[in-house]
A and B are shown apart, each in its own frame.
Chain A
Amino acid sequence: MTQPILKVTGLKKHFPVSTGGVFSKGKGVVKAVDGVDLEIFPGQTIGLVGESGCGKTTVGRTVLKLYEPTAGTIEFNGEDITNLTPKQMKPRRSQMQMIFQDPFASLNPRQTVGTLIGNTFDIQKITPQGGKVEEIQRLMKRVGLNPEHINRYPHEFSGGQRQRIGVARAIALKPKLIVADEPVSALDVSIQAQVVNLLEDLQEEFNLSYLFVAHDLSVVQHISDRVVVMYLGKVMEDADKKDLFLNPRHPYTKALLSAVPVPDPKIGRARERIILQGDLPSPVNPPAGCVFNTRCWKAQDKCRTEVPELVQIQPGHKIACHFPEPASA
């Protein structure tokens, strides 16, 4: 068995918040991530899904050590990087990159494309073979941009093109792992497919691993090998893609999947939909027991007192639930 490129065990990230007014001393914590395990193998894509506020973005940022983890360990390529300082992290960063959600906010408007992509080489003090400018232009071509546009500024590009700049920047140093945080959700439908296809091609070419963070289950289903479902900072279900979509065992996953609209009127009308009541509870004050119990139609007394552990219920399929859904054939 090959070694995972990223192994995360018991990851926690808590943010302090003040609970009262400006002068109050009361301090609480938001348990944004509260015990997450993940494993990504080379060339694999893990989809991380959940509603806004479930902690999926925080997981993505913490595994890259953009946030300091509160507890747990992060192993990258077999090395424990949990307690490395930013200085120690720097040389390792060329191996782990990120693509951000908003292509309008993540590019410095006063830098040209050439500078934006070239910065990655400067920061790591690397001179690419064949010269920097040539390498930047090769990258631009690779992601589908016109290399002649090297001196243009971000505002001269459309949303899809800007996201391609973000992708070029992320692959410039030939990383092993890319954390993609909602990379297509800000794009128009007809452009989304272009970027999704580009990400898939690059993965094949460079044997990249992706941690694909997104709320759009249709895109996640398409691109992922495995899918991890989060709710209020905890993993609810973790399974092989096919297994998860055909045979969801956690009530939350089931409800989430049933809520995804399908672009097919007959299926849309016929499908049974589980409509969850209410909203996501506040992560400052999560419910006792199972965090999902306030919206779960199956919740019983046990769910309100006892936290369900994430356990394997069939090979490669883990869930955290006291009363799992029956396995379908």
Chain B
Amino acid sequence: MSAFLEVKNLTVSFPTEDGLVQASNDISFSVDRGETLAVVGESGSGKSVTSLAIMGLHNRQTTNINGSAVLNLESGPIDVISAPEEQVRRLRGKAMSMIFQDPMSALHPYYSIGDQLSEAWRLYNKGDKKAGFKRATEMLELVGIPDASKRVKEFPHQFSGGMRQRVMIAMALINNPALLIADEPTTALDVTVQSQILQLLKDMQKEFNMAVILITHDLGVVAEVADRVNVMYAGKIVEQGVADGIYYKPDHPYTIGLLNSIPRVDQLEGKRLIAIPGQPPSLINLPQGCSFRKRCTFADQVADNLCATIAPSLDMKENAHFSRCHLTEKQLVAARGGK
């Protein structure tokens, strides 16, 4: 039995005047229904580019996309990378759906919330506008908008940030998609509203038995919702595994560095943060060897200058835990501080 979404060797690059931008490189992962996969990385690590490729939202004329992303639908598998655009369009909103970071710019300011929600519903269901509004009201109630029958007639500017994000979720879920990609859904929100939205996403996942890909840079949010995690750096997955493994036994110096560099609200000793030196490389001229090498404090421990010459492959370190690093297990234990 294969997972609902299977991505294999997905590579996305953009030809530009300055050279080829290798935005995401050799990405492989799978997500099943009922499961939450978190994709963590800094800006430019390729996390959004990968998800847009899965949604079929890149311009195929100006983007080089290779590899496959197969949705295992009841009617049979479809590879969204090679399928005709018209076929992929009919999957969007129904088989797979996406929520974006900024709910203000993702909603149309001229149309009422009900208009926008019912348009999404009527695309795949027979029914007039009235039926659409009825369905829209139900969805708004489901995502916890009070007074839904009145608010369905209102416009985006009459909603607060958190409420707009609820509307976005309602719109994404109105046709019961099997896969939901949430791209930084709470980054623009305050913490108290963030916890409301994360709870809502968890509830909705249960209700619709969805596969969820959550894209974020916030390791706190990931810890709260993810079953499995992909850590991305400079267009590649550098570490992949179940959430507990990533947090308690990270196998890549970048993940170790990230976890060391964030202050935690539950640690009051005021220890100095251990910052990762330097900054991410340009995606046009990626360094030879490991992309993280120049910021890695352990690269000089690897024999034969291997990090500078050979890019490490994504190898299994232990059961279902993968990492792209030349360090030996013994060196990694030292890098983790003895753990």
Q: Enumerate chain A interface residues (CB-CB to B < 8 A).
A: 51-52, 158, 160-161, 188-194, 196-197, 200, 215, 217-219, 221-223, 241-242, 245-246, 255-269, 273, 275-276, 279-280
**Would B279 and A245 count as touching, CB distance under 8 A?**
no
Instruction: Identify which of B195, B222, B258, B266 contacts A259 (C-beta below 8 A).
Output: B195
Give me 14 A-to-B residue pairs in the complex whose CB atoms sit less than 8 angstroms apart, sorted by A's number: A51-B193, A189-B42, A189-B262, A190-B275, A193-B261, A222-B273, A259-B195, A262-B264, A263-B262, A264-B247, A265-B244, A265-B247, A275-B196, A279-B162
A191 to B280, CA, bound (A): 10
In this complex, how many residues of chain B approach chain A with their Cβ under 8 Å: the count is: 46
A47 to B219, CA, bound (A): 22
Which B residues touch A193, using CB under 8 A? 261-263, 273-276
Q: How far is the CB of B160 from chain A (nearest CB, A)?
A: 4
Interface check B199, CB cutoff 8 A: yes
Interface check B101, CB cutoff 8 A: no
**Would B160 and A279 count as touching, CB distance under 8 A?**
yes
Which A residues touch B226, using CB under 8 A? 265
Interface check B84, CB cutoff 8 A: no
**Would A51 and B192 count as touching, CB distance under 8 A?**
yes
Which A residues touch B222, using CB under 8 A? 263
**Would A221 and B190 count as touching, CB distance under 8 A?**
no
Interface check B327, CB cutoff 8 A: no
**Interface-centre pick from B220, B221, B222, B280 (highest chain A CB count, 10 A):** B220
Cβ-closest chain B residue relative to A245 = B268
- Looking at chain A's contact residues, the main secondary structure is helix
Which A residues touch B270, using CB under 8 A? 222
Q: Enumerate chain B interface residues (CB-CB to A < 8 A).
A: 42-43, 160-163, 190-196, 199, 217-224, 226, 243-244, 247, 257-259, 261-266, 268, 270, 272-277, 279-280, 295
Instruction: Identify which of B160, B217, B220, B243 contacts A261 (C-beta below 8 A).
Output: B220
Which A residues touch B276, using CB under 8 A? 190, 193-194
Q: How far is the CB of A265 from chain B (nearest CB, A)?
A: 5
Known contacts A51-B192, A215-B190, A264-B223: A221-B263 contact under CB 8 Å: yes
Q: How far is the CB of A279 from chain B (nearest CB, A)?
A: 4
Cβ-closest chain B residue relative to A252 = B192
Which B residues touch A218, using CB under 8 A? 220, 262-265
**Would B244 and A190 count as touching, CB distance under 8 A?**
no
Q: How far is the CB of A61 from chain B (nearest CB, A)?
A: 20
Which A residues touch B192, using CB under 8 A? 51, 255-256, 259, 275-276
Cβ-closest chain B residue relative to A161 = B279
Cβ-closest chain A residue relative to B220 = A261
Known contacts A263-B222, A265-B223: A190-B191 contact under CB 8 Å: no
Which A residues touch B263, using CB under 8 A? 193, 196, 218-219, 221-223
**Would A268 and B224 count as touching, CB distance under 8 A?**
yes
